[in-house]
Each structure stands twice: as C-alpha cells, then as structure tokens.
Structure 1
Amino acid sequence: MLDEDRATTARAISEAEAWAHVQAICFKTGPPRRLGVELEFLVRDAHAPSRPLDRDRHSAAVADLRSLPLRSPLTFEPGGQLELSPPPAPSLTACVAEAEADLDLVRATLRAHDLTLVGHGCDPYNLPVRFLDQPRYAAMEAYFDRRGPAGRLMMCSSASVQVCVDAGYEEPGPLGFARRWRLAHLLGAVLVAAFANSPLRGGRPTGWRSTRQANWADLDPGRSQAPAEARDPRTAWAAYVLDAPVMCVRCDEGPWTVPTGVSFRQWIRATGDHGAATSADPAPSHPPDTDHCPPDTGPGTALPRPPTREDLDYHVSTLFPPVRPRGHLELRMIDAQSGDDAWRVPLAVTTALFDDPEASERVYRAVKPLAELAGPHPPPRNPLWRTAARDALTDPELHAAALAAFAAAREALPRLGASPRLQSAVADFTDRYVARGRCPADDVLDALLDPRPGDPVSGKEGRR
C-alpha cells in the first residue's frame, strides 16, 4: 500500500465517505469470469473423531502445515477448524483442481499426526472450546456471550463450504447483479436443505437437519441476517453496514473495546464529523431486535477514537449474513460435507446455477415462488429458511425447487466444461439424496439407529 493510501485509510472517516466507500466496493460488476471456494473442516483424531481435539497435537500439526508449499491461503478458525481458500479461478475445473491439490498435501501432513479433516456443519459431539487467543477472537467471544451460546458455537464448532461467485453484470438479465443478489437469497434456502449435514449436538439429534443454520439464525440479527429486500442492493447493503452494531474497536495494546448497542453510523456521529451520508440514505435497513437485545444495550458506550476506513473494512468482515457482497458474492449457508471429495458437489451445483445463463434463468423461475413462503422477514430468520434448516428436502416446496435446481445444474455442467468425474459426482448426489427427498443429515440420523463401521458421523464415507 502506498503511503498516501495508508494515510487515507488511517484518518477519521466521515459518514458520507463511509457510505460512498461501501457502495463502491460491495458489487463490482462485469461478466462472471471467476469463482472461488472456501473450505472449512473440523480437525479430529483420525481413530476417534468424537474425542475432543488435543491442543498440543493440533499445535504441532499447524506448525508443519505452515511449511507446506500451498497455493491456497491456509487459516484456522477459533475452535481449531481448518480453512483452505484457493485463489479465484477462471473455471470450475481449475477451482476444483487447485483445491484438491492443496487438500492432498494438507491431509498427508495431518495423517503424520494421526489427525484427519472431518466435514460436518456443526461438531456432532464436543462443546465449543476456543483454541486461538488473538484479541479479535477474545472480543468476538465477549460480544456474542452477551446474547447466549450461539456465538461460541459458530466460532468454535461450525464448518461450511462457502462458494464465491462474481457479482454479475450491471445491466438487468439472468446474470445481472440485482437478479443474482435476489437469487442467492431464495436459492440459499434450497442449498441449506439439499446439503444439510449437522443434525447432532452432544451426540444427540437436535431436531434440525442443519443445526449450524439454526444456530446462525440465533446470532445477533444486526450482523447475521440479510438486509431487507430493496430495489437497489447497493443502497440496502450500505445502510445495513452503517446500521450494524460495532463488534469491537481495535487497539495496538491490551484488550479491544467491545461496545454495546453502537452502530457504525453512531460511532462516526459520536466521535467525529458525520456530515451527510447521501440524500438517498434510507432509514435503518432492519428494525431493532428489541426482544433479543442484551439488557445493557444502549448508545452510551464510551468509544476511544473516531473510526477510520480501516475500521470500516474490518467492521464489514465481522458481518455474517447468509450472502455477503465483497465485490463478489459469498454464499455462506452450506454445511461442510462428509467425505473427502463431497465439497465438490455444492461448488459445482452453485457455480452452474449462477454462471450458466440458461440454468440461472430456469432456477430463478423455480425458486421465485418460495418468496411467498419466506414472508416479509429477511433470511435466515424467516419461515422458509427455518423450514430448510429443520425439515430439509422433506418439505414438498423445497424438494420441488431442489429437483428443478439440480436438473438445471446437471444440464449446465457440460456447457461449463466440468469433467465427467465431477458431473458423475453431482449425478450420484442427486440420485442418492435429492431425488429421494433426503440430505446428508439423514444418513447421520439413520446411523444412530443402525450404527455400522464407517458411518457418516465418524467423518468417513458412509453407507451407499
């Protein structure tokens, strides 16, 4: 970063500048050309995956993993979950190949420590334990603890397959960014249902096929639910960002400040020159969740300094809606999948439905009626998304939408140059789950009634 750029990001930001900055970076439009995937896994004992992870073994493995010649950034979540984020790829084939190559190296290194990667949306057995002691995670924990246990579960016990697609064209149409934004929030419920893979907590059924998604809906809604639907997604997202509560204020030494009930907009107005954001600046994008606010919530928390553009960018990184626009679209609702290669299926299906124009148009028509089931509330706290997390594809409307979505994706994959192996994986998943109104969580629940070696809860390939 140039010295001039550093000075810009480090000085106090006005409300007008914050509004303009968010609108400038949230949707970067153009032809969809790149895609990406972020793969999260639980790290577990290779011989006893239900056993709590040993810190010393995990630390030794992490040290060896850091020395690997990976092309993908490798990071760890607070509970020790591993995340691999291959660079954006020009094609589905390239994205899969790069992730597979790096995962092979990671798995070989973990085997030397008798550890393995396990794909579940939520740890089926263990309580959340924070391994990482950085100020960011201590502040996150303190913030979420005011509301209840959902934050710690999200931080330390969850894992997902996050698919990243380009924002799309500025112009309207099947690949226009406004259409893709709306599609993501309707199709997202179908993806939750089709790939639900977290029905257990403490070794027992929770009543949800995606406990991870149910837990996400219990997080602070000011940072975990989607913006209210609007004609202009940029305006809706900018309002959402400025009105979202500030999780923490960073500092160089000592613990970070964790304010209560202070939005980013209020931070600017309380400590600096807020100015006028824009004549189009609407009211807050979502009403205050008064039934669930901590009892000490209020705008009176002392803030140590005015916010900067760096603070604004960091603030955006602490927002966890099901679809997050960061130039591209991050789809964050898919549970981690059991089996070494199972992550390829949600990546392939999602890519096909967003980046093939014919498939995108077909699936949009198929999921559009789901808006009536969603009602007026944004995901994930509306009836459609709760049904997806609880009932998955046993719900007839979600099942019908999933059948249409997977059919469109399978027809599109050859047009996108997907390998026969990848096409076969999607076909097998469709036959095994979607056609039968099932999801991976159903295998886990079946295994509780009829346990066999290699059942899905162990993290290895289950019964066919």
Structure 2
Amino acid sequence: MSNRQEALGDGAIIESKADMIGLFERGEKPRSAWRIGTEHEKFVFRLADHGQPSWEEPNGIRDLLMAFGRYGWEPVFEDGKVIAATGADGSLSLEPAGQFELSGAMLENLHQTCAETGRHREQCLAIGAELGLGFLGLGFNPVARREDLPVMPKGRYTIMRQHMPRVGSLGLDMMLRTCTVQTNLDYGSEADMVKKFRVSLALQPLGTALFANSPFSEGRPNGFLSYRSHIWTDTDPARTGMLPFVFDEGFGYERYADYALDVPMYFAYRDGKYVDAAGLSFRDFLAGKLSVRPGERATYGDWKDHLSTAFPEVRMKGYLEMRGSDSGPQSRICALPALWVGLLYDGTALDAAWDLVKGWSIKGQQRMRDEVPRLALKATAPDGKSLQTLAKEVLAIAAGGLDRRARENGIGDSEAGFLAPLWEIAESGKTLAERYLDLFHGEWGGKIDPVWDAARF
C-alpha cells in the first residue's frame, strides 16, 4: 500500500457528488502526458536464519529504511517512528509485516521504469549486505506462520488487523504474508477510462496467470500456483473482486463513485492520527453523521483516503491500477507494465484487446478468475480457449502496441523486449510457480530452504 500523501485542497469539505467525481475528471491527461507507475513489494528476511525482522530490532526494518538516506531518500515519520521514505524514484513504504515496497515515479517509458527498478535493487542489495538482510520475490511468504510475523507501527494497519477477521478468513494473510507488483496508468477521457477499465479488468486473470508465483505456504506446496490471488477471494467481499458493473451500459465516473461510497470505511485521518471507523458508512461521513466524528463532514482528502481502501482487481484513483499479479524477480517487474502499456496506451492495440473480450459473459469472466489461482495458464477463458492460447494472442497485441509507441532506448531497443519473460511462459505453458514446484519435488528433495536463494530479489 502506497504512502498517504496530502495535497493542496485536501481539507476542503465535499459539498456534492460532483466534488467526488471531480477527482476522476482531473485525472484526465492528453496522450503526451500519459505516464507509467510501477509498484512492487518483496519480503525482507534475515540472511542468518531466514526470519522476518521486526521494525525495532537492530538491523531491522527501521534501520533498513533509515539506511536509504545515503541515496537521498527522506524519511517519513508517524508518531515519531520512521514508516516510509520519499525520493526521486518515488516512495518506499512498509506493508503490515514489513514487506518492503517501492512505489515508483510516474515515468515516460519502460526503459526508465526498468532502470528505476534496477537502481532500487542495487540499493537494496548494498544495504542488505551491511545489515544482514535479503529480499525475496514471491507472492506469498513461503514459510512463516501468520502468528509469528512482526507488525509494523502504522496506525491504519492496526485498524485493518482488527477489522479483517470480521469480514473474511484470509484478510490477515493478505496483509501479513503477500507481496504484489502493480502498474498505474493514465486515461485521456471518461470514454477512454471506460474502455481501458473494461479491457484490463477482463484480462486481469490472465495477468494473474502469467505472473503466478506463490505456490508455497509454511514450507510446503499449498495446492495453488497463485495463492496470493486466492486469498483475495476471502478477504472482504465488500471491497474486492471483479466489479461486473464495469461492463454495464452507462458505466463511468459516477458509477465508480457510487461503488466506492458503498465500500465500508476503515478510518478517518485527523490531527496526525488514524481514527477507527471500520465498517461505518462514508455516506454518513458526508452528511456529518459519522459516529466516531459526530458533526464533522468528509473532506476531499478523506475521499482520497477512502478510495485507497477499496481493493478490486482494477482500481481507479484518478488513474487506473492493475492489481492482479504476484511479485517476482526484476525481469517480471519490468514485464508487468510492458504488458499493460502495450495493451492500453496504443489505440490499435486497445481496440484489438477489446475485440478479444467484448463478447465475454460476466459469468465466464468470474469462472476464469476462480480457476486461475490453481490452474494459471491451464484455466479456460470465457470463449473456451485455454489461457495459454489467450496469452499468446494478448502478448502479440501488446508487442505491436509497444512497437508502435516507438519508445526506444539509446541503442534502438523497443519496449517490446520487456515482454520476453512472458513470452517464455506463454510458449512453455509453465509459470514460475510451476518451475519452483518442479524444483521442490526434484532437485530440492522436498525441502523449502533452497527457495531463499532461488527467489532472491
């Protein structure tokens, strides 16, 4: 989860739905201003014993964050404790059990994105070597039990940890034991947003399949290829899922705002503190009837905070977030934005992708989403083809879109080269999760310890 950010005007009271919709309208940008944002998480572990460091222990998460100051990162504090950092490459933040995230800057092309990821990896490895820490690129913690993990000192996470067991059985696992990679992309108009939202939502299960990388839990295979994706099916149904209304006639900014208004609250942020409002109604907050802040009315900043507490497969916050993929090695971090930029930032590619999915039924899309965590590319698309076949078609469309963008690096390489790891998966039909399972049952002799080297970030 990205750091909370405040902007001028966040304190203004929301007077109407138009004020809320305005956030989405102000996200509209001309094509020349479209940018690429990439967020990726990884597990931090002690090299000595593979345990997860706490925030406060020597050479733990606190010291890790502070060490980034040598590279120009500025620490961010909450209640006097460092919980994040900001710099030229975006922001560093902590997930609830200390998973470490880079929320990258909004960049013009994928060459810049991969260079940013490379800089971050080099900084992590240099600091990690000094502190005795390593970084693991998997979608789910391969060994830790939920109850054994440390908890980071962030107020919103305290509220979420208390609320999650009330609404689902796996929400705490989502918080404490998962890592993801996601891409944030722009739109030019409401109509452009709608088309991009529909295409990316319909194909999000394919993204999950291509990036499936969470086959282990507590030292053993868990029966899934993307267990992280399965966890979202029993986290909190009021704020997760495939959002079938996106495909309804007339979908647009207002309909998404209505959806978000129906998502129960987690908190309100006041005077530097998170106020527990878990399960309460944002509509009541708008009317000054929120029980934990009686008489106060929601502000523009509150609306931005609230939008960040909905977790559908694709999310809108003035830009679109593709949220379906497990974390992994650096090459796959670069591949994720390549996939979605290729599909969504070129008009010909976007039209071709829409032609692929526009006839899919909502029932078929949900069935595909339900199959993918276990089957990945062996799942079936709504039109009956295997996801392996669909993957090749989609990658060809994305490659064409990237070539037409013509954003080359200094030696003439196309952005389409970043799709190479996904082409290898699509051609072989074997995900990274399946490769790790083959190693576990073969070369590793049924032992999980080799994963700490095999999946090192």
Say whether 1:192 aligns with 2:224.
Answer: no
Q: What is the distance in 1 between the residues matched to 2:351 and 2:18?
A: 36
Does the 8 Å contact 2:38/2:104 carry over to 1? yes
Unaligned runs of 5+ in 1: 273-300, 376-381
Tell me whether 346-355 or 116-125 shows the greater mean CA deviation.
346-355
Q: Indicate conservation of the 8 Å contact 1:181/1:233, yes or no.
A: no
Q: Within the alignment, does 1:320 sit opposite 2:311 as a pair?
A: yes
Specify which of 106, 113, 117 is matched with residue 95 of structure 1.
113
Deviation string for 1:70-110 (max 9, x for gaps)?
52221111211111122111112122222322331222111
Query: Alignment partner for residue 156 of structure 1, among 163, 176, 181?
Result: 176
Alignment of 1:289-304 (within 5 A): 303-304=293-294
Q: Which residue of 2 aligns with 1:180?
A: 196
1:232 maps to 2:251: yes
Q: Does the Cα contact within 8 Å between 1:124 and 1:457 map onto a contact in 2?
A: no
Cα distance in 2, alignment partners of residues 117 and 340 from structure 1: 12
Cα distance in 2 between the residues matched to 1:199 and 1:135: 31
1:353 maps to amino acid: L
**Equivalences for 1:194-343 in 2 at 5 Å?**
194-227=210-243, 228-229=245-246, 230=248, 231-252=250-271, 256-260=275-279, 262-269=280-287, 271=289, 303-304=293-294, 305-337=296-328, 339-343=329-333
Matches of 2:141 and 2:331, distance apart in 1: 19
Query: Deviation at 1:423?
Result: 4.8
CA 1:418–1:123: 2 relative to 1, 3 Å:
farther
1:138 & 1:125 partners in 2: Cα distance?
23
| 8 Å CA contact retained: 2:190, 2:252 | no
Give distance in 1, aligned partners of 2:422 and 2:408.
Answer: 16
Shift of 1:308: 2.3
Q: Greater strand share, 1 or 2?
A: 2
Q: 2:373 aligns with which of 389, 397, 410?
A: 389
Provide the secondary structure at the position in 2 that maps to 1:103.
Answer: helix
Paired-residue identity, %: 24
Which residue does 1:30 correspond to in 2? 30
Contact 2:182 2:324 in 1 (8 A): yes
Structure 1 residues 456 and 225 mapped into 2: Cα distance closer, same or farther (>3 Å)?
Answer: farther
> 2: distance between equivalents of 1:203 and 1:370?
38
Q: Which runs of 5+ in 2 are unaligned?
A: 1-6, 73-86, 381-385
**Matched letter for residue 251 of structure 2:** D
AA aligned to 1:248 is F
Do the aligned partners of 2:338 and 2:418 also contact (CA within 8 Å) in 1? Answer: no
> Which residue does the alignment assign to 1:293?
none
Kept in 2, the 8 Å contact 1:45–1:115? The answer is yes
Q: Structure 1, residues 207-247: CA drift from partner, whole Å, max 9, x if none?
A: 22111111112121222234422332212211011111111
2:264 touches 2:282 (CA, 8 Å); kept in 1? yes
Q: Residues 143-200 of structure 1: CA distance to partner in whole angstroms, max 9, x if unpaired?
A: 21222442222222211111111124455xxxx2221110010111110111111122
What is the aligned length?
A: 414
Match of 2:350 in 1: 360
* Secondary structure of residue in 1 paired with 2:276: coil
| TM-score with structure 1 setting the length | 0.80
Amino acid at match of 1:220: D
> Is the alpha carbon distance of 1:127 and 1:329 closer, same or farther for their aligned partners in structure 2, counting shifts above 3 Å?
same
Further displaced range: 223-232 or 189-198: 223-232
RMSD, aligned CA: 2.9
Q: Using a 3 Å threshold, how does the CA distance of structure 1 residues 387 and 369 change in structure 2: closer, same or farther? A: farther
What SS does the corresponding residue of 2:301 show, helix, strand or coil? helix
Mapping of residues 428-447 of structure 1, within 5 Å: 428-431=421-424, 433-447=425-439
What TM-score, normalized to structure 2?
Answer: 0.81
Hey, what does 1:112 align to over in structure 2?
130
Among candidates 119, 122, 126, match of residue 144 of structure 2: 126
Q: Whole-Å Cα distance in 2 between the matches of residues 123 and 244 of structure 1?
A: 28
- Structure 2 residue matching 1:44: 3-state secondary structure: strand
